[in-house]
């Protein structure tokens, strides 16, 4: 699948705005009945909790997902609505997303352009609101044991 075809498909659907929306859809298509917390979804799919919540709302608003909550549990029951679309696009989308090439093309079509690219934020390193800065790696070194220092000296 080419990126142009993926963009046309996504434009026809008009629901998805972020790669997380697509990843959640594929997850629920594979697991149509799931009792989960949002934190579990965030951990399994590798997105921030805020993005998971936003993408869940997209799927719920589109009628692709229903959710119920039990007052005794933090987890919610999510049920994938297989017949939740009226355009017949769901089988096409799931078929495209079932291959590596198709998933990559769909994700690329959903990913906003990087700063400096055509259509992306320009100048002074402006970041998208949904993109969190990555933490810098650091090294922790253990202090030398004082007893070893006196023996060496």
pLDDT tens per residue across span 54-93:
999 999 998 889 888 777 777 888 888 866 555 578 888 8
pLDDT score at 43: 93
pLDDT tens per residue across span 11-70:
888 888 899 999 998 899 889 898 888 899 999 999 999 999 999 999 999 888 988 877
Domain 3-110, CATH number (from 1.10.10.10, 3.40.50.150, 1.10.580.10, 1.10.8.60): 1.10.10.10
Q: Tokens 């690219």, residue?
A: 117
pLDDT score at 117: 53
The answer to whether the pTM exceeds 0.85 is no
Under a CB-based contact definition with an 8 Å cutoff, are residues 72 and 7 in contact? no
Q: Please report, for the chain, the start and end positions of each structural domain, with discontinuous segments joined by +.
A: 3-110
């Amino acid at each position: 699948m080419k990126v142009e075809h993926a963009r046309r498909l996504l434009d026809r659907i008009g629901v998805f705005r972020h790669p997380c929306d697509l990843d959640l859809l594929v997850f629920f298509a594979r697991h149509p009945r799931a009792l989960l917390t949002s934190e579990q979804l965030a951990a399994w799919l590798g997105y921030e909790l805020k993005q998971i919540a936003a993408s869940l709302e997209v799927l719920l608003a589109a009628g692709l997902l229903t959710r119920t909550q039990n007052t005794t549990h933090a987890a919610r029951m999510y049920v994938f609505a297989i017949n939740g679309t009226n355009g017949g696009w769901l089988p096409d989308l799931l078929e495209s997303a079932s291959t590596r090439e198709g998933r990559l093309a769909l994700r690329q079509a959903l990913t906003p352009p990087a700063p400096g690219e055509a259509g992306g934020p320009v100048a002074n390193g402006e970041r998208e609101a949904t993109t969190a800065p990555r933490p810098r790696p650091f090294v922790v070194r253990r202090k030398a044991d004082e007893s070893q220092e006196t023996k060496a000296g």
